[in-house]
Structure 1
Amino acid sequence: MWIVGPEILRTCRAAEGDMMGFDVELLANDPEVYPEAAVSCKKTVIPSRGLGNHRFSRFSSWKVIKRAISNLKGVAKSWKNNSSRKDKQVKSPRDLQEAETTILRSLQSETFSKEIEEVKKEKLSKNNKLIALQPYLDQKGILRVGGRLKHAQLSERATNPIILPKNNHITDLVIKHLHQQCNHQGRHITLGRLRSEGYWVLGGHKQVAKVIQGCVTCRRLRGKHETQIMANLPFQISRGKTRASCQAKRWAVMFTCMYTRGVHIEVLESMDSSSFINALRRFFAIRGPAKQIRSDCGTNFVGACSKLGHELHDKNTVKRFLLDHGCEWIFNPPHASHMGGAWERMIGIARRILDGVMRDVKPSQITHEVFVTLMAEVAATINSRDHFCQIVIFPSCH
């Protein structure tokens, strides 16, 4: 360790002054000397303050990404307030709604940056890909679809849905989430659910079809079988919740409107006339009386009852009940199932939805109450296949 430096360091200033006056001669043929100096400039891109869409690619669920952003906002607020407790739990649905707004605003700011600038200036160019949607920014900075429904007595999600880009990971997560909520149905029902929840996807039909094509559950449910085996007509349910619970059969009767194609399903405990009349009374009590009822005849109705060992003995009782309520029952001709295509189509859709609903339910857990709940969810899924579908039972039902 030096307490006092060497003597030469204190006496070298004079010599240093002599060295400053020394001239350096450069030789023209010196290979170490370059006649020209090359100057390079590197451009530095400052990242934006947004979350960054590349960070969203690590998430595989719409629920998980909203919860993660909500937790991140909670931690940020705790640090901002200098709180000793760093809150990472979601407190209310409002936190998830704010997280969804943050995600969508960050997504639109990167994918629709030029369009948002034009919307702010209120000058949309002809090359703007959103010009047909008449977009505008709401109070939260979300880009929404415009139109002429400003004064409609509907929510903002219904009249002005949020615009989502195509071929984007966040858009795929939203479609996948709503596709699971409608029990893995096709493109038409999934797109209707997407519109009813307040989302407008650019190229929605192709984007929804792309997500459904990659759905593993749909591939299992819609996979082609080598041999087509018809399912049994009654459904098996368990009586009680003990090990000694026995199996019982249940039937379902479907009423569909011939005008709006609305569907109403009632569960029957037996195939006798009293059980059917009770189901018909429940239908009239909920949906209102009908003027005319159409149904199959021959092999589709009577033949099915005979095959199961049941017979509708008291047909006069059913006719008398309908006559008292001013309702007419018309049977189609025998062996003419093509005349009932309206309700045969609804039966096929109901079976597909029921396959998706009962996939997550064990057979031992299907009680009468559970089965009635599942059939109500099946009817709700069918009735939600259109965006503004309001089910009104008109006086012409099956």
Structure 2
Amino acid sequence: MPTLGTHRFERCQDWKLLIESVALLKRFIKHRKEDKPKIRLKSVDSYKAAETYDDGILRVGGRLKNVSADVVCALPLLIPGKHYVATLLIVKCHQSVRHQGRYFTEGKVRSSGYWITGCRRLVVSILHKCVICRRMRRQCESQKMSDLPEDLLIPGQPPFTSVGVDIFGPWDVITRKTRGSSANSTCLVTRAVHIEVLEEMSSSSFINALRRSTAIRGKVKLFRSDMGTNFLGAMDPYA
């Protein structure tokens, strides 16, 4: 009859599933050995016992044998780095520290009471394959600038042949102090060559302002805007 070896652990994709499988197997064995089987429910103690359930388990030696039993990192469990269990443990610790990097992951492994041979190299290998870490630490993309439009490069055109249109404001600024409070007014200072005041953010107000500007500055051949709704509504009537 084939034995249940640790090579079967590779069927589990994470540490939680492995512990649940071992705890279930232990409950099943106890159930079969009893003369009068009884239902055994899941418990926290059964999962804790499943984490260290193995024959001949080794611990790292030292001079801390007299330390309190509550200190789990005093005599950590020795786990070979090439074993599949080591990979599951590191992935579990890495997720518990919220993908904060190699040093946090190594510290979590130590504080959990495990000593994995070649831990640093294995942690670096696992974090290199972590999709979340690679997504958070990827190099920032640089904006690719497009070529300037032709109407900005052709010299010799009359002013206001090609214009850019935009609506901004209102901006309230303090103009002067009074006895009661401060007097505010709307500032329309901008670098634009021509400024028109709009009563509201509508297409009709924009059309009136556009007609006033063209009456002073002349006919415009090309308009560029951010394609706002008030601009799009003014395209057909102005055309």
C-alpha distance in structure 2 between counterparts of 1:227 and 1:154, whole Å: 54
Query: Where do residues 361-372 of structure 1 align in structure 2 (5 Å cutoff)?
Result: none
Answer yes or no: is the 8 Å Cα contact 1:184–1:217 preserved in 2: yes
Return the match for 1:97 from 36, 48, 58. 48
1:60 alignment partner in structure 2: 13
Structure 1 residue 83 displacement after superposition = 4.0
2:109 alignment partner in structure 1: 194
CA RMSD of aligned residues (A): 2.2
1:215 alignment partner in structure 2: 130
Q: Deviations over 1:310-336 (max 9, x none)?
A: xxxxxxxxxxxxxxxxxxxxxxxxxxx
1:184 aligns with 2:99: yes
Q: Deviations over 1:73-117 (max 9, x none)?
A: 112211111445554x42x11100111122xx26xxxxxxxxxxx
Question: Could you list the runs of 5+ residues in structure 2 that have no partner in the other structure?
Answer: 144-239
1:174 aligns with 2:125: no
Structure 1 residue 153 displacement after superposition = 4.6
2:26 alignment partner in structure 1: 73
TM-score by length of 1: 0.34
C-alpha distance in structure 1 between counterparts of 2:84 and 2:123, whole Å: 13
Structure 1 residue 150 displacement after superposition = 2.4
1:144 alignment partner in structure 2: 59
Question: Could you list the runs of 5+ residues in structure 1 that have no partner in the other structure?
Answer: 1-45, 107-140, 229-398
Q: 1:156 to 1:144 in 2, by over 3 A?
A: farther
Query: Where do residues 109-120 of structure 1 align in structure 2 (5 Å cutoff)?
Result: none
Aligned pair count reads 143
Answer yes or no: is the 8 Å Cα contact 1:187–1:208 preserved in 2: yes
C-alpha distance in structure 2 between counterparts of 1:82 and 1:222, whole Å: 58
Q: 1:192 to 1:75 in 2, by over 3 A?
A: same
Identity of aligned residues (%): 38
C-alpha distance in structure 2 between counterparts of 1:153 and 1:85, whole Å: 36
Structure 1 residue 154 displacement after superposition = 6.5
Structure 1 residue 187 displacement after superposition = 0.8
Structure 1 residue 158 displacement after superposition = 1.6
Helix, strand or coil at the partner of 2:61: coil
Helix, strand or coil at the partner of 1:143: coil
C-alpha distance in structure 1 between counterparts of 2:70 and 2:77, whole Å: 12
Q: Which amino acid is the alignment partner of residue 16 of structure 2?
A: K
Structure 1 residue 227 displacement after superposition = 3.3
Helix, strand or coil at the partner of 1:163: strand
1:160 alignment partner in structure 2: 75
Answer yes or no: is the 8 Å Cα contact 1:212–1:218 preserved in 2: yes
Query: Where do residues 22-41 of structure 1 align in structure 2 (5 Å cutoff)?
Result: none
Structure 1 residue 152 displacement after superposition = 3.6
Answer yes or no: is the 8 Å Cα contact 1:190–1:208 preserved in 2: yes
TM-score by length of 2: 0.55
Q: Deviations over 1:143-189 (max 9, x none)?
A: 00011222345645221100010122111001100100000111111
Q: Which amino acid is the alignment partner of residue 93 of structure 1?
A: V
Q: 1:160 to 1:84 in 2, by over 3 A?
A: closer
Helix, strand or coil at the partner of 2:108: helix
Helix, strand or coil at the partner of 1:144: coil
